[in-house]
Structure 1
Protein backbone atom coordinates (compact mmCIF):
# COMPACT_ATOMS: atom_id res chain seq x y z
CA UNK A 1 0.00 0.00 0.00
CA UNK A 2 1.46 3.38 -0.98
CA UNK A 3 0.19 6.89 -0.33
CA UNK A 4 0.65 9.67 -2.85
CA UNK A 5 -0.08 13.35 -2.86
CA UNK A 6 -2.52 14.66 -5.43
CA UNK A 7 -1.19 14.86 -8.97
CA UNK A 8 -0.82 18.20 -10.70
CA UNK A 9 -3.75 19.55 -12.68
CA UNK A 10 -3.20 18.36 -16.26
CA UNK A 11 -2.02 20.94 -18.77
CA UNK A 12 -4.25 19.29 -21.38
CA UNK A 13 -7.18 17.73 -19.46
CA UNK A 14 -9.16 15.01 -21.15
CA UNK A 15 -12.89 15.52 -21.66
CA UNK A 16 -15.72 13.18 -22.64
CA UNK A 17 -16.10 13.09 -26.42
CA UNK A 18 -19.14 10.82 -26.29
CA UNK A 19 -20.84 8.41 -23.93
CA UNK A 20 -22.88 5.26 -24.34
CA UNK A 21 -24.83 2.98 -22.05
CA UNK A 22 -23.80 -0.64 -21.56
CA UNK A 23 -26.26 -3.04 -23.18
CA UNK A 24 -27.73 -6.25 -21.78
CA UNK A 25 -26.36 -9.38 -23.47
CA UNK A 26 -26.20 -13.15 -22.95
CA UNK A 27 -22.94 -15.00 -23.46
CA UNK A 28 -21.19 -18.22 -22.51
CA UNK A 29 -23.61 -20.84 -21.21
CA UNK A 30 -26.40 -18.30 -20.73
CA UNK A 31 -24.65 -15.68 -18.58
CA UNK A 32 -26.57 -12.40 -18.38
CA UNK A 33 -24.32 -9.34 -18.29
CA UNK A 34 -23.88 -5.77 -19.42
CA UNK A 35 -21.59 -5.14 -22.39
CA UNK A 36 -19.91 -1.74 -22.17
CA UNK A 37 -17.63 -2.12 -25.22
CA UNK A 38 -18.18 -4.55 -28.08
CA UNK A 39 -21.74 -3.66 -29.13
CA UNK A 40 -23.24 -1.67 -31.98
CA UNK A 41 -22.86 1.79 -30.47
CA UNK A 42 -19.25 1.18 -29.41
CA UNK A 43 -17.83 -1.87 -31.24
CA UNK A 44 -14.26 -1.18 -30.04
CA UNK A 45 -11.84 1.53 -28.96
CA UNK A 46 -8.44 0.53 -30.32
CA UNK A 47 -6.92 -1.58 -28.76
CA UNK A 48 -9.91 -2.34 -26.47
CA UNK A 49 -12.19 -4.93 -28.06
CA UNK A 50 -14.72 -5.72 -25.33
CA UNK A 51 -15.66 -4.93 -21.74
CA UNK A 52 -18.28 -7.02 -19.96
CA UNK A 53 -19.75 -6.33 -16.53
CA UNK A 54 -21.25 -9.44 -14.89
CA UNK A 55 -23.15 -9.42 -11.63
CA UNK A 56 -25.44 -11.48 -9.40
CA UNK A 57 -26.72 -10.31 -6.01
CA UNK A 58 -28.43 -11.95 -3.03
CA UNK A 59 -28.47 -15.46 -4.47
CA UNK A 60 -29.79 -18.23 -2.20
CA UNK A 61 -27.24 -20.47 -0.48
CA UNK A 62 -25.84 -23.07 -2.84
CA UNK A 63 -27.11 -21.31 -5.95
CA UNK A 64 -25.11 -21.79 -9.11
CA UNK A 65 -25.02 -19.55 -12.13
CA UNK A 66 -23.99 -20.49 -15.68
CA UNK A 67 -20.48 -19.77 -16.80
CA UNK A 68 -18.15 -20.03 -19.74
CA UNK A 69 -17.33 -23.68 -20.57
CA UNK A 70 -14.37 -24.59 -22.80
CA UNK A 71 -13.90 -22.06 -25.57
CA UNK A 72 -10.91 -20.97 -27.70
CA UNK A 73 -9.08 -17.67 -28.16
CA UNK A 74 -6.33 -16.46 -30.47
CA UNK A 75 -4.71 -13.11 -31.19
CA UNK A 76 -5.55 -10.99 -28.13
CA UNK A 77 -5.52 -10.78 -24.34
CA UNK A 78 -8.34 -11.28 -21.82
CA UNK A 79 -8.42 -9.66 -18.39
CA UNK A 80 -10.70 -10.93 -15.62
CA UNK A 81 -11.04 -8.70 -12.56
CA UNK A 82 -13.27 -9.67 -9.64
CA UNK A 83 -15.00 -7.41 -7.12
CA UNK A 84 -17.07 -10.12 -5.40
CA UNK A 85 -17.27 -13.88 -5.61
CA UNK A 86 -14.77 -16.05 -7.49
CA UNK A 87 -13.98 -17.25 -11.00
CA UNK A 88 -12.58 -20.78 -11.36
CA UNK A 89 -10.56 -21.38 -14.52
CA UNK A 90 -8.63 -24.10 -16.34
CA UNK A 91 -7.14 -24.42 -19.79
CA UNK A 92 -5.54 -26.54 -22.48
CA UNK A 93 -1.96 -25.79 -21.36
CA UNK A 94 -2.57 -27.16 -17.87
CA UNK A 95 -3.24 -23.95 -15.94
CA UNK A 96 -5.87 -24.05 -13.19
CA UNK A 97 -6.81 -21.60 -10.47
CA UNK A 98 -9.36 -19.41 -8.75
CA UNK A 99 -9.59 -15.63 -9.08
CA UNK A 100 -11.04 -14.34 -5.80
CA UNK A 101 -12.50 -10.93 -4.97
CA UNK A 102 -9.98 -8.18 -5.67
CA UNK A 103 -7.84 -10.46 -7.81
CA UNK A 104 -6.98 -10.17 -11.48
CA UNK A 105 -5.95 -12.56 -14.22
CA UNK A 106 -4.31 -11.21 -17.39
CA UNK A 107 -4.28 -13.98 -20.00
CA UNK A 108 -2.37 -13.69 -23.26
CA UNK A 109 -4.10 -16.06 -25.66
CA UNK A 110 -1.42 -15.54 -28.30
CA UNK A 111 -1.30 -18.34 -30.87
CA UNK A 112 -4.18 -20.20 -29.26
CA UNK A 113 -5.63 -21.53 -26.04
CA UNK A 114 -8.83 -23.26 -24.91
CA UNK A 115 -10.06 -22.36 -21.46
CA UNK A 116 -13.11 -22.32 -19.22
CA UNK A 117 -14.20 -19.75 -16.66
CA UNK A 118 -16.87 -20.77 -14.18
CA UNK A 119 -18.22 -18.19 -11.70
CA UNK A 120 -18.78 -19.07 -8.05
CA UNK A 121 -20.80 -16.65 -5.89
CA UNK A 122 -19.61 -16.00 -2.34
CA UNK A 123 -22.26 -15.16 0.27
CA UNK A 124 -24.74 -15.00 -2.62
CA UNK A 125 -22.86 -12.32 -4.56
CA UNK A 126 -20.79 -12.15 -7.72
CA UNK A 127 -19.36 -9.10 -9.50
CA UNK A 128 -16.58 -8.79 -12.02
CA UNK A 129 -15.40 -7.57 -15.38
CA UNK A 130 -13.83 -9.11 -18.44
CA UNK A 131 -11.79 -6.96 -20.78
CA UNK A 132 -10.41 -7.96 -24.19
CA UNK A 133 -7.33 -6.12 -25.46
CA UNK A 134 -5.93 -6.61 -28.94
CA UNK A 135 -2.36 -7.75 -29.56
CA UNK A 136 -0.13 -6.18 -32.22
CA UNK A 137 0.42 -8.27 -35.35
CA UNK A 138 3.95 -9.16 -34.28
CA UNK A 139 2.64 -10.63 -30.98
CA UNK A 140 -0.48 -12.46 -32.11
CA UNK A 141 1.22 -15.84 -32.46
CA UNK A 142 3.28 -15.64 -29.27
CA UNK A 143 3.16 -18.42 -26.72
CA UNK A 144 0.07 -18.28 -24.45
CA UNK A 145 0.66 -17.19 -20.88
CA UNK A 146 -0.76 -15.66 -17.71
CA UNK A 147 -0.17 -13.01 -15.14
CA UNK A 148 -2.38 -13.63 -12.11
CA UNK A 149 -2.46 -11.68 -8.86
CA UNK A 150 -4.44 -11.99 -5.64
CA UNK A 151 -6.12 -8.97 -4.10
CA UNK A 152 -3.22 -8.22 -1.75
CA UNK A 153 -0.79 -8.14 -4.68
CA UNK A 154 -2.64 -5.32 -6.47
CA UNK A 155 -1.09 -1.98 -5.36
CA UNK A 156 -3.32 0.71 -3.91
CA UNK A 157 -2.84 4.38 -4.68
CA UNK A 158 -4.13 6.72 -1.94
CA UNK A 159 -4.86 10.21 -3.19
CA UNK A 160 -4.57 13.22 -0.92
CA UNK A 161 -8.23 13.95 -1.70
CA UNK A 162 -9.26 10.64 -0.09
CA UNK A 163 -9.81 8.70 -3.30
CA UNK A 164 -8.38 5.18 -3.47
CA UNK A 165 -7.24 3.49 -6.67
CA UNK A 166 -6.35 -0.15 -7.25
CA UNK A 167 -3.65 -0.15 -9.93
CA UNK A 168 -4.02 -3.30 -12.01
CA UNK A 169 -1.69 -2.14 -14.79
CA UNK A 170 0.27 0.97 -15.68
CA UNK A 171 2.12 3.49 -13.57
CA UNK A 172 1.00 6.39 -11.38
CA UNK A 173 3.85 8.39 -9.95
CA UNK A 174 6.18 5.95 -8.22
CA UNK A 175 3.63 3.12 -8.12
CA UNK A 176 3.63 0.39 -10.77
CA UNK A 177 0.59 -1.80 -11.37
CA UNK A 178 0.51 -5.52 -10.68
CA UNK A 179 0.52 -6.50 -14.35
CA UNK A 180 3.73 -5.78 -16.27
CA UNK A 181 5.15 -6.00 -19.80
CA UNK A 182 1.97 -5.67 -21.87
CA UNK A 183 2.56 -4.65 -25.53
CA UNK A 184 -0.07 -1.89 -25.52
CA UNK A 185 1.30 -0.19 -22.35
CA UNK A 186 -2.10 -0.05 -20.65
CA UNK A 187 -3.33 1.84 -17.63
CA UNK A 188 -6.03 -0.08 -15.74
CA UNK A 189 -7.23 1.67 -12.58
CA UNK A 190 -10.18 0.79 -10.34
CA UNK A 191 -10.92 4.13 -8.68
CA UNK A 192 -13.19 4.61 -5.65
CA UNK A 193 -14.45 8.11 -4.86
CA UNK A 194 -16.22 8.84 -1.57
CA UNK A 195 -19.15 11.25 -1.20
CA UNK A 196 -18.05 14.65 -2.44
CA UNK A 197 -14.70 13.20 -3.49
CA UNK A 198 -12.39 13.99 -6.36
CA UNK A 199 -9.19 12.82 -8.01
CA UNK A 200 -6.81 13.96 -10.72
CA UNK A 201 -5.27 11.04 -12.62
CA UNK A 202 -2.42 11.30 -15.14
CA UNK A 203 -3.10 9.47 -18.42
CA UNK A 204 -0.39 8.95 -21.06
CA UNK A 205 -0.79 11.34 -23.97
CA UNK A 206 -1.67 9.56 -27.20
CA UNK A 207 -3.35 6.60 -25.49
CA UNK A 208 -6.99 5.91 -26.23
CA UNK A 209 -8.89 6.08 -22.96
CA UNK A 210 -12.34 5.61 -21.45
CA UNK A 211 -14.15 5.54 -18.12
CA UNK A 212 -16.72 2.95 -17.12
CA UNK A 213 -18.77 3.85 -14.05
CA UNK A 214 -19.89 0.69 -12.26
CA UNK A 215 -21.34 2.29 -9.11
CA UNK A 216 -22.72 5.70 -8.25
CA UNK A 217 -22.10 8.63 -10.58
CA UNK A 218 -18.90 10.41 -11.62
CA UNK A 219 -18.30 13.72 -13.33
CA UNK A 220 -15.44 14.40 -15.69
CA UNK A 221 -14.40 17.96 -15.01
CA UNK A 222 -13.75 20.07 -18.03
CA UNK A 223 -11.23 22.50 -19.41
CA UNK A 224 -12.15 26.16 -19.65
CA UNK A 225 -14.98 26.57 -22.14
CA UNK A 226 -16.05 22.92 -21.99
CA UNK A 227 -18.98 21.67 -19.93
CA UNK A 228 -18.38 18.91 -17.36
CA UNK A 229 -20.04 15.58 -18.16
CA UNK A 230 -21.70 13.38 -15.53
CA UNK A 231 -21.64 9.63 -16.10
CA UNK A 232 -24.11 7.44 -14.18
CA UNK A 233 -23.56 3.79 -13.35
CA UNK A 234 -23.49 1.53 -16.40
CA UNK A 235 -22.22 4.22 -18.78
CA UNK A 236 -18.95 4.45 -20.72
CA UNK A 237 -17.38 7.84 -21.33
CA UNK A 238 -14.84 7.91 -24.18
CA UNK A 239 -12.16 10.51 -23.47
CA UNK A 240 -10.37 12.97 -25.71
CA UNK A 241 -6.58 12.97 -25.86
CA UNK A 242 -4.66 14.75 -23.14
CA UNK A 243 -2.27 14.24 -20.25
CA UNK A 244 -4.77 13.54 -17.48
CA UNK A 245 -8.37 13.49 -16.32
CA UNK A 246 -10.09 15.30 -13.44
CA UNK A 247 -12.91 13.42 -11.71
CA UNK A 248 -15.35 14.30 -8.97
CA UNK A 249 -18.57 12.99 -7.48
CA UNK A 250 -21.35 14.21 -5.22
CA UNK A 251 -22.81 10.87 -4.11
CA UNK A 252 -19.73 8.59 -4.41
CA UNK A 253 -18.58 6.44 -7.31
CA UNK A 254 -16.69 3.35 -8.36
CA UNK A 255 -15.22 3.43 -11.85
CA UNK A 256 -12.71 1.82 -14.15
CA UNK A 257 -10.28 4.12 -15.94
CA UNK A 258 -8.57 2.42 -18.86
CA UNK A 259 -6.07 3.70 -21.40
CA UNK A 260 -3.74 2.01 -23.87
CA UNK A 261 -1.61 2.68 -26.91
CA UNK A 262 -3.70 2.28 -30.09
CA UNK A 263 -2.31 -0.27 -32.55
CA UNK A 264 -3.71 1.33 -35.70
CA UNK A 265 -3.63 -2.03 -37.50
CA UNK A 266 -6.27 -3.76 -39.63
CA UNK A 267 -8.56 -6.14 -37.75
CA UNK A 268 -10.24 -9.36 -38.89
CA UNK A 269 -12.48 -10.48 -36.03
CA UNK A 270 -14.94 -13.31 -35.62
CA UNK A 271 -16.11 -14.64 -32.27
CA UNK A 272 -13.13 -15.80 -30.18
CA UNK A 273 -10.44 -14.94 -32.75
CA UNK A 274 -8.95 -11.52 -33.56
CA UNK A 275 -6.40 -11.40 -36.39
CA UNK A 276 -5.25 -8.89 -39.00
CA UNK A 277 -6.76 -10.29 -42.19
CA UNK A 278 -9.30 -12.85 -43.40
CA UNK A 279 -6.63 -15.40 -44.31
CA UNK A 280 -5.28 -15.41 -40.76
CA UNK A 281 -8.81 -15.61 -39.39
CA UNK A 282 -9.64 -18.63 -41.57
CA UNK A 283 -6.40 -20.28 -40.44
CA UNK A 284 -7.37 -19.74 -36.79
CA UNK A 285 -10.67 -21.60 -37.30
CA UNK A 286 -8.88 -24.37 -39.23
CA UNK A 287 -6.24 -24.77 -36.52
CA UNK A 288 -8.92 -24.98 -33.83
CA UNK A 289 -10.86 -27.63 -35.76
CA UNK A 290 -7.65 -29.60 -36.29
CA UNK A 291 -6.74 -29.60 -32.60
CA UNK A 292 -3.75 -27.26 -32.87
CA UNK A 293 -4.81 -25.38 -29.71
CA UNK A 294 -4.40 -28.45 -27.47
Structure 2
Protein backbone atom coordinates (compact mmCIF):
# COMPACT_ATOMS: atom_id res chain seq x y z
CA UNK A 1 0.00 0.00 0.00
CA UNK A 2 1.39 3.38 -0.98
CA UNK A 3 1.90 5.93 1.76
CA UNK A 4 0.33 9.36 1.64
CA UNK A 5 1.26 11.96 4.24
CA UNK A 6 -1.54 13.67 6.13
CA UNK A 7 -1.58 17.46 5.97
CA UNK A 8 -2.17 19.64 9.02
CA UNK A 9 -5.45 21.46 8.50
CA UNK A 10 -5.22 23.91 11.38
CA UNK A 11 -3.44 24.61 14.67
CA UNK A 12 -4.74 26.45 17.73
CA UNK A 13 -4.29 27.05 21.44
CA UNK A 14 -7.41 25.95 23.34
CA UNK A 15 -8.74 28.39 25.91
CA UNK A 16 -8.93 27.73 29.64
CA UNK A 17 -12.33 27.41 31.30
CA UNK A 18 -13.87 26.26 34.55
CA UNK A 19 -15.51 22.84 34.80
CA UNK A 20 -17.11 20.77 37.55
CA UNK A 21 -16.47 22.22 41.01
CA UNK A 22 -13.35 24.33 40.74
CA UNK A 23 -11.47 22.43 38.02
CA UNK A 24 -9.61 24.29 35.29
CA UNK A 25 -9.51 22.71 31.84
CA UNK A 26 -8.14 23.40 28.39
CA UNK A 27 -10.93 22.14 26.11
CA UNK A 28 -9.24 20.93 22.96
CA UNK A 29 -12.32 19.24 21.44
CA UNK A 30 -15.86 20.20 22.41
CA UNK A 31 -15.26 23.90 22.91
CA UNK A 32 -15.30 27.09 20.87
CA UNK A 33 -12.46 26.08 18.55
CA UNK A 34 -13.71 22.60 17.60
CA UNK A 35 -17.27 21.61 18.51
CA UNK A 36 -16.69 17.93 17.79
CA UNK A 37 -14.49 15.80 15.57
CA UNK A 38 -16.50 12.66 14.89
CA UNK A 39 -16.26 10.31 16.79
CA UNK A 40 -14.58 12.54 19.39
CA UNK A 41 -16.96 14.67 21.43
CA UNK A 42 -14.55 16.25 23.90
CA UNK A 43 -10.97 16.32 25.10
CA UNK A 44 -10.09 18.23 28.25
CA UNK A 45 -6.62 18.80 29.66
CA UNK A 46 -7.59 19.27 33.29
CA UNK A 47 -5.91 20.42 36.49
CA UNK A 48 -7.76 19.86 39.76
CA UNK A 49 -6.71 20.78 43.31
CA UNK A 50 -8.24 19.51 46.53
CA UNK A 51 -11.01 19.90 47.67
CA UNK A 52 -12.38 20.49 44.15
CA UNK A 53 -13.48 17.86 41.67
CA UNK A 54 -16.43 16.59 39.71
CA UNK A 55 -19.44 15.98 42.00
CA UNK A 56 -22.13 13.37 41.31
CA UNK A 57 -23.27 13.62 37.69
CA UNK A 58 -24.84 11.34 35.03
CA UNK A 59 -23.81 10.16 31.57
CA UNK A 60 -25.62 8.39 28.75
CA UNK A 61 -24.78 7.51 25.15
CA UNK A 62 -20.97 7.66 24.99
CA UNK A 63 -17.67 6.65 26.62
CA UNK A 64 -15.31 8.60 28.87
CA UNK A 65 -11.59 7.89 29.01
CA UNK A 66 -9.74 9.33 32.02
CA UNK A 67 -5.92 9.33 31.75
CA UNK A 68 -4.06 10.58 34.83
CA UNK A 69 -0.77 12.32 34.04
CA UNK A 70 0.12 13.49 37.57
CA UNK A 71 -1.27 12.60 40.99
CA UNK A 72 -3.96 10.16 42.08
CA UNK A 73 -7.70 10.39 41.37
CA UNK A 74 -10.58 8.49 42.96
CA UNK A 75 -13.97 7.67 41.48
CA UNK A 76 -17.25 6.11 42.54
CA UNK A 77 -20.55 5.31 40.83
CA UNK A 78 -24.13 4.56 41.83
CA UNK A 79 -23.78 0.86 41.02
CA UNK A 80 -21.17 0.35 43.74
CA UNK A 81 -18.06 0.56 41.58
CA UNK A 82 -15.16 2.61 42.99
CA UNK A 83 -11.39 2.84 42.84
CA UNK A 84 -8.31 4.94 42.31
CA UNK A 85 -6.36 5.88 39.18
CA UNK A 86 -2.66 6.59 39.67
CA UNK A 87 -0.37 8.57 37.38
CA UNK A 88 -0.02 6.82 34.04
CA UNK A 89 -3.22 4.81 34.50
CA UNK A 90 -6.55 4.97 32.71
CA UNK A 91 -10.22 4.36 33.32
CA UNK A 92 -12.24 3.63 30.19
CA UNK A 93 -15.91 3.96 31.14
CA UNK A 94 -18.60 2.98 28.68
CA UNK A 95 -21.59 4.83 30.12
CA UNK A 96 -24.06 3.28 27.68
CA UNK A 97 -27.62 3.50 28.98
CA UNK A 98 -26.66 5.21 32.19
CA UNK A 99 -24.00 5.92 34.81
CA UNK A 100 -23.99 8.38 37.70
CA UNK A 101 -20.55 8.91 39.20
CA UNK A 102 -18.20 11.25 41.03
CA UNK A 103 -14.48 12.01 40.61
CA UNK A 104 -12.06 13.85 42.89
CA UNK A 105 -8.33 14.11 43.68
CA UNK A 106 -6.70 11.87 46.28
CA UNK A 107 -3.41 13.75 46.02
CA UNK A 108 -3.35 17.51 46.56
CA UNK A 109 -3.30 18.03 42.79
CA UNK A 110 -4.05 15.97 39.73
CA UNK A 111 -3.43 16.64 36.05
CA UNK A 112 -5.06 14.50 33.43
CA UNK A 113 -6.83 14.15 30.12
CA UNK A 114 -10.49 13.24 29.75
CA UNK A 115 -11.68 12.12 26.35
CA UNK A 116 -15.32 11.59 25.35
CA UNK A 117 -15.87 9.09 22.55
CA UNK A 118 -19.26 8.89 20.86
CA UNK A 119 -21.14 5.60 20.40
CA UNK A 120 -23.13 4.63 17.33
CA UNK A 121 -26.91 4.53 17.77
CA UNK A 122 -27.02 0.75 18.22
CA UNK A 123 -24.51 0.96 21.13
CA UNK A 124 -25.85 4.01 22.95
CA UNK A 125 -28.07 2.01 25.30
CA UNK A 126 -25.65 -0.85 25.96
CA UNK A 127 -24.98 -2.00 29.51
CA UNK A 128 -22.30 0.13 31.19
CA UNK A 129 -18.86 -1.37 31.75
CA UNK A 130 -15.35 -0.34 32.78
CA UNK A 131 -11.80 -1.02 31.70
CA UNK A 132 -9.17 0.08 34.20
CA UNK A 133 -5.44 -0.27 33.73
CA UNK A 134 -2.42 0.90 35.66
CA UNK A 135 0.51 2.32 33.74
CA UNK A 136 2.32 -1.02 34.04
CA UNK A 137 -0.54 -2.85 32.29
CA UNK A 138 -0.80 -0.51 29.32
CA UNK A 139 0.88 -1.57 26.08
CA UNK A 140 4.27 0.05 25.36
CA UNK A 141 6.44 0.48 22.28
CA UNK A 142 10.00 1.81 21.98
CA UNK A 143 12.39 2.82 19.25
CA UNK A 144 15.42 5.14 19.09
CA UNK A 145 14.66 8.21 21.18
CA UNK A 146 10.92 7.43 21.29
CA UNK A 147 8.72 5.90 24.02
CA UNK A 148 5.05 5.23 23.36
CA UNK A 149 2.14 4.22 25.57
CA UNK A 150 -0.67 2.70 23.51
CA UNK A 151 -4.03 3.30 25.17
CA UNK A 152 -6.09 2.21 22.16
CA UNK A 153 -5.30 1.04 18.65
CA UNK A 154 -1.75 0.24 17.60
CA UNK A 155 1.67 1.76 17.05
CA UNK A 156 5.05 0.36 15.97
CA UNK A 157 3.45 -3.04 15.43
CA UNK A 158 2.02 -3.31 18.95
CA UNK A 159 -1.73 -3.29 19.54
CA UNK A 160 -3.47 -2.36 22.79
CA UNK A 161 -5.95 -4.89 24.17
CA UNK A 162 -8.44 -2.16 25.10
CA UNK A 163 -11.94 -2.88 23.84
CA UNK A 164 -13.14 0.02 21.70
CA UNK A 165 -16.77 -0.08 20.60
CA UNK A 166 -15.92 2.88 18.37
CA UNK A 167 -12.61 2.16 16.60
CA UNK A 168 -9.99 4.72 17.66
CA UNK A 169 -6.26 5.19 18.11
CA UNK A 170 -5.03 6.89 21.31
CA UNK A 171 -1.29 7.01 21.93
CA UNK A 172 1.00 8.98 24.27
CA UNK A 173 4.39 9.72 22.69
CA UNK A 174 7.58 10.97 24.35
CA UNK A 175 10.47 11.93 22.03
CA UNK A 176 14.01 13.08 22.51
CA UNK A 177 15.11 16.18 20.61
CA UNK A 178 15.77 15.38 16.96
CA UNK A 179 13.78 12.12 16.95
CA UNK A 180 11.35 11.45 14.10
CA UNK A 181 8.26 9.29 14.53
CA UNK A 182 5.91 7.94 11.88
CA UNK A 183 2.41 6.77 12.78
CA UNK A 184 0.12 4.96 10.40
CA UNK A 185 -3.52 6.07 10.39
CA UNK A 186 -6.56 4.87 8.51
CA UNK A 187 -7.47 6.99 5.50
CA UNK A 188 -10.61 9.12 6.12
CA UNK A 189 -10.40 8.75 9.90
CA UNK A 190 -10.45 12.04 11.79
CA UNK A 191 -7.17 12.74 13.59
CA UNK A 192 -5.62 15.34 15.85
CA UNK A 193 -2.61 15.90 18.11
CA UNK A 194 -2.14 17.79 21.39
CA UNK A 195 1.22 18.85 22.79
CA UNK A 196 1.78 18.26 26.51
CA UNK A 197 5.41 19.38 26.66
CA UNK A 198 8.08 20.71 24.32
CA UNK A 199 7.88 21.53 20.62
CA UNK A 200 7.35 19.35 17.56
CA UNK A 201 7.13 19.88 13.82
CA UNK A 202 4.27 18.44 11.77
CA UNK A 203 3.87 19.11 8.04
CA UNK A 204 6.34 22.05 8.27
CA UNK A 205 4.32 23.58 11.12
CA UNK A 206 5.73 24.01 14.63
CA UNK A 207 3.40 23.01 17.45
CA UNK A 208 4.20 24.17 20.97
CA UNK A 209 3.18 23.15 24.47
CA UNK A 210 -0.61 23.24 25.00
CA UNK A 211 -1.22 23.65 21.26
CA UNK A 212 -3.43 21.33 19.20
CA UNK A 213 -3.34 20.40 15.53
CA UNK A 214 -6.19 19.01 13.43
CA UNK A 215 -5.31 16.89 10.37
CA UNK A 216 -7.23 16.65 7.15
CA UNK A 217 -8.83 13.27 6.38
CA UNK A 218 -6.79 12.21 3.35
CA UNK A 219 -3.68 10.13 3.87
CA UNK A 220 -2.49 7.14 5.88
CA UNK A 221 0.68 8.43 7.56
CA UNK A 222 1.55 11.23 9.99
CA UNK A 223 5.14 12.24 10.72
CA UNK A 224 6.33 14.06 13.85
CA UNK A 225 9.77 15.60 14.45
CA UNK A 226 10.80 16.64 17.97
CA UNK A 227 12.37 20.10 17.98
CA UNK A 228 12.85 19.81 21.77
CA UNK A 229 12.37 16.94 24.20
CA UNK A 230 8.61 16.58 23.81
CA UNK A 231 5.53 14.68 24.91
CA UNK A 232 2.24 14.68 23.04
CA UNK A 233 -0.91 12.64 22.50
CA UNK A 234 -2.25 11.54 19.13
CA UNK A 235 -5.83 10.54 18.38
CA UNK A 236 -7.53 9.07 15.33
CA UNK A 237 -11.03 7.64 15.02
CA UNK A 238 -13.43 6.18 12.50
CA UNK A 239 -16.30 8.68 11.98
CA UNK A 240 -19.72 7.36 12.95
CA UNK A 241 -21.52 9.69 10.57
CA UNK A 242 -24.71 10.00 12.62
CA UNK A 243 -26.49 13.09 13.90
CA UNK A 244 -25.21 14.28 17.29
CA UNK A 245 -27.65 15.79 19.76
CA UNK A 246 -26.03 16.69 23.06
CA UNK A 247 -27.45 18.14 26.24
CA UNK A 248 -24.70 18.32 28.85
CA UNK A 249 -23.80 14.74 29.85
CA UNK A 250 -26.35 13.09 27.51
CA UNK A 251 -25.35 12.44 23.89
CA UNK A 252 -27.95 10.87 21.61
CA UNK A 253 -29.14 11.06 17.99
CA UNK A 254 -32.54 12.76 18.38
CA UNK A 255 -34.04 15.49 20.56
CA UNK A 256 -36.69 13.00 21.70
CA UNK A 257 -33.93 10.70 22.98
CA UNK A 258 -32.44 13.55 25.01
CA UNK A 259 -35.89 14.24 26.49
CA UNK A 260 -36.17 10.55 27.34
CA UNK A 261 -32.73 10.54 28.98
CA UNK A 262 -33.68 13.50 31.15
CA UNK A 263 -36.95 11.82 32.16
CA UNK A 264 -35.21 8.53 32.89
CA UNK A 265 -32.61 10.26 35.06
CA UNK A 266 -35.14 12.38 36.97
CA UNK A 267 -37.45 9.40 37.53
CA UNK A 268 -34.71 6.85 38.21
CA UNK A 269 -35.73 4.38 35.49
CA UNK A 270 -34.37 2.68 32.34
CA UNK A 271 -30.78 2.41 33.58
CA UNK A 272 -30.88 5.14 36.24
CA UNK A 273 -32.57 3.07 38.95
CA UNK A 274 -31.53 4.47 42.32
CA UNK A 275 -30.03 7.64 40.87
CA UNK A 276 -32.47 9.98 42.65
CA UNK A 277 -31.46 8.84 46.15
CA UNK A 278 -27.79 8.03 45.60
CA UNK A 279 -25.06 10.26 46.98
CA UNK A 280 -21.43 9.27 46.65
CA UNK A 281 -19.06 8.96 49.59
CA UNK A 282 -16.83 11.38 47.68
CA UNK A 283 -19.55 14.05 47.83
CA UNK A 284 -20.41 13.32 51.46
CA UNK A 285 -16.77 13.69 52.50
CA UNK A 286 -16.30 17.07 50.85
TM-score, length of structure 1 as denominator length: 0.88
Deviation of 1:125 after TM superposition, in Å, equals 4.6
User: What residue in structure 1 maps to residue 16 of structure 2?
Assistant: 24
For the pair 1:79 / 2:65, whether they are aligned, the reply is: yes
The answer to whether the 8 A contact 2:175-2:230 is kept is yes
From 141, 147, 162, the equivalent of 1:179 is 162
- Residue 187 of structure 1 aligns to a residue in which SS? strand
* Deviates most, 124-133 or 230-239: 124-133
- Residue 152 of structure 1 aligns to a residue in which SS? helix
User: What residue in structure 2 maps to residue 152 of structure 1?
Assistant: 136
User: What residue in structure 2 maps to residue 3 of structure 1?
Assistant: none
The answer to whether the 8 A contact 2:50-2:109 is kept is no
- In 2: Cα distance, 1:66 partner to 1:285 partner: 26
User: What residue in structure 1 maps to residue 223 of structure 2?
Assistant: 246
User: What residue in structure 2 maps to residue 49 of structure 1?
Assistant: 41
- Residue 137 of structure 1 aligns to a residue in which SS? coil
Deviation of 1:191 after TM superposition, in Å, equals 0.4
Deviations 1:73-123 (A, max 9, x none): 0000000001110110010121111011110111000001100111223xx
The answer to whether the 8 A contact 1:83-1:128 is kept is yes
The answer to whether the 8 A contact 1:20-1:42 is kept is no
User: What residue in structure 2 maps to residue 231 of structure 1?
Assistant: 207
- In 2: Cα distance, 1:65 partner to 1:253 partner: 31
CA 1:125/1:68 → structure 2, altered by over 3 Å: closer, same or farther? Answer: closer
The answer to whether the 8 A contact 1:153-1:178 is kept is no
User: What residue in structure 1 maps to residue 253 of structure 2?
Assistant: 276
User: What residue in structure 2 maps to residue 164 of structure 1?
Assistant: 147
User: What residue in structure 2 maps to residue 101 of structure 1?
Assistant: 87
- In 1: Cα distance, 2:161 partner to 2:239 partner: 21
From 211, 218, 230, the equivalent of 2:193 is 211
List structure 1 runs of 4+ shifted beyond 4 angstroms. none
The answer for unaligned runs of 5 or more in structure 1 is 1-7, 57-62, 223-227
The answer for unaligned runs of 5 or more in structure 2 is 274-286
For the pair 1:134 / 2:123, whether they are aligned, the reply is: no
User: What residue in structure 2 maps to residue 195 of structure 1?
Assistant: 177
- In 2: Cα distance, 1:37 partner to 1:150 partner: 25
Deviation of 1:178 after TM superposition, in Å, equals 4.1
TM-score, length of structure 2 as denominator length: 0.91
- In 2: Cα distance, 1:71 partner to 1:178 partner: 29
Deviation of 1:197 after TM superposition, in Å, equals 1.8
| Alignment RMSD (CA, Å) | 1.5
The answer to whether the 8 A contact 2:73-2:110 is kept is no
- In 2: Cα distance, 1:125 partner to 1:30 partner: 12
- Residue 127 of structure 2 aligns to a residue in which SS? coil
Matched positions, count:
270
Deviation of 1:173 after TM superposition, in Å, equals 4.6
- Residue 115 of structure 2 aligns to a residue in which SS? strand
User: What residue in structure 1 maps to residue 262 of structure 2?
Assistant: 285
